[in-house]
Amino acid sequence: MKIKKKNKIKLYYEMLRIREIEKTIAEKYNEWEMRCPVHLSIGQEAVAVGVCQNLKKNDEIVTAHRCHAHYLAKGGSLKSMISELYGKETGCAKGLGGSMHLIDLRAGVSAAVPIVGSTIPIGTGIAWANKIKKSGKIVAIFFGDGATEEGVFFESLDFAALHRLPVLFVCENNEYSVYSHISKRQSKKRNITSISESLGVKSLKLNGNSIEEVFLKSKDIINKMRKDSKPYLIELKTFRAVEHCGPNNDDNLNYRTKNYLNYWEQKCPISNYEKFLKRNKLLSNYQLLKIKENIKKQISSAFDFAKKSKFPKKKLLKKYIYA
């Protein structure tokens, strides 16, 4: 299956847009106007874009604490997202949720929930409801390798397989849970895709830093899901470039070796794809300039909008509390 030139440019544009938005968040975070924690997706953009480009607008995603890339890749409003980070009433959660609670129902972003593993049963439940309603929607659930250590991971996959739910489990394996490498948390014999297969869910390992591999493989899987209404799991090896929580680089803590960092920095999904497009004369310097100018204008407009917006009124504080 070949990717059309316009789609290749689109894949690059979406990844670069997410990267530049998050770099701007990191730059402005120290102004002390954004007071919610931020978990940036820098380095992991290919996963979100590759998967979401194959989803329809009415398909749904459920994501976790590192949710910016998924929200943006699915078409979530940039102005609403930035406003949410500033705690403003124009935010996607009215300024009450912050970075880890992004939502845009019009774009199919059903929820972002920070509790590790919690998105998995929530997304599975949404998929079950969709099947009962015969809506034809696909649900994609994004989670990290640490979430596969939670009991709900096993229970949800088993349930999805039993009820033939059209749900795509997307495991972003960046090998670290905060400072703990996967080797410190899981047996060497443990295999996420094998566990998935044992529960009746077909699975596949992918290079999470190859945008074309993610796009093509997830396209094939999602098309199959629309036909046979079965769950699938994809595990994508990728790399978190900055600290677990926050806008800074924390490699001075030495929990990741220099060799490890150098290895992954050479695999940047955006710079490598840009080189590929230029080398194959699919992207000119003029086109690149126009793309960057377009993205810069969007970002500037979104931050101006957020800063000028008002903070929510006190009466909202208890409005959405149910327990």
* Domain boundaries along the sequence of the chain: 5-238+267-316
Q: Which of 202, 209, 208 is nearest to 224 (CA)?
A: 202
Report which residue type is found at 93.
A
Mind listing the pLDDT tens digit for each residue in 162-176? 999 999 999 999 999
Measured at the alpha carbon of residue 153, what is the angle toward residues 150 and 177, in degrees to the nearest 5? 45
pTM of the prediction? 0.96
Report which residue type is found at 256.
R
Q: Residue 244 contacts by C-beta under 8 Å, 6 or more apart in sequence?
A: 39, 176, 178, 179, 250
Pairing of strands 139-144, 167-173: parallel
Q: Tens digit of pLDDT per residue, the chain (323 long)?
A: 789 999 999 999 999 999 999 999 999 999 999 999 999 999 999 999 999 999 999 999 999 999 999 999 999 999 999 999 999 999 999 999 999 999 999 999 999 999 999 999 999 999 999 999 999 999 999 999 999 999 999 999 999 999 999 999 999 999 999 999 999 999 999 999 999 999 999 999 999 999 999 999 999 999 999 999 999 999 999 999 999 999 999 999 999 999 999 999 999 999 999 999 999 999 999 999 999 999 999 999 999 999 999 999 988 888 888 87
Rounded to 5 degrees, what are φ and ψ at 231?
-75, 155
Homologous superfamily (CATH) of 5-238+267-316 is: Thiamin diphosphate (ThDP)-binding fold, Pyr/PP domains (3.40.50.970)
Mind listing the pLDDT tens digit for each residue in 260-282? 999 999 999 999 999 999 999 99
45, 272 contact by CB (below 8 A): no
CA-CA distance, 157 to 164, in Å (whole number)? 10
